[in-house]
């Protein structure tokens, strides 16, 4: 199982970040919800960015490039093995920063990866 940090977590059930949290938990993955909204998703409280988690395998992004700059240091310090750029979150600048720090950027959809066994 891959500990997964969701950036852009939301309690809104119509959002893909919400669906991803539910699917990750249902498949046995531990999740950390990070976002600006209050609440919880899949039984896990949404926390504000700040606390660095050292046991994260994957970060999955659900915020657009315009909001990502403030997360660069947070992501690098978390030091995941990979960062999934879901559709609409692709960012060449962040992908280059990740590569420079030995973190694999993946342009894909977390929901599709989970559904097809590629996660």
CA 24 to the chain's CA centroid:
11
Phi, psi of 104 (to 5 degrees): -80, 120
Cross-strand partners of 40 = 45
Q: 104 pLDDT band (50/70/90 cuts)?
A: very high
Which top CATH class is 4-115?
A: alpha beta
pLDDT of 15-67, one tens digit each? 999 999 999 999 999 999 999 999 999 999 999 988 899 899 999 999 999 99
Q: Which residue has the tokens 């660095």?
A: 52
pTM of the model: 0.96
Predicted confidence at residue 77, as pLDDT, reads 96
Predicted confidence at residue 6, as pLDDT, reads 98
Predicted confidence at residue 91, as pLDDT, reads 97
Q: What is the mean pLDDT of the chain?
A: 96
Which of the 8 DSSP states describes residue 74? H
Predicted confidence at residue 95, as pLDDT, reads 98
Rounded CA separation 57/13 (Å) = 25
Domain locations along the chain: 4-115
Q: CB neighbours (10 Å) of residue 12?
A: 11
């Amino acid at each position: 199982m891959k500990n997964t940090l969701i950036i852009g977590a939301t309690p809104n059930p119509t959002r893909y970040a919400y669906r991803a949290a539910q699917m990750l938990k249902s498949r046995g993955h531990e999740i950390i919800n990070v976002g600006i909204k209050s609440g919880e998703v899949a039984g896990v409280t949404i926390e504000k960015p700040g606390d660095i988690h050292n046991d994260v395998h994957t970060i999955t992004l659900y915020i657009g490039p315009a909001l990502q700059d403030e997360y660069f240091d947070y992501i690098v310090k978390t030091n995941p093995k990979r960062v999934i750029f879901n559709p609409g979150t692709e960012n060449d600048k962040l992908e280059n920063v990740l590569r420079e720090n030995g973190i694999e950027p993946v342009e894909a959809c977390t929901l599709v990866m989970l559904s097809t066994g590629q996660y």
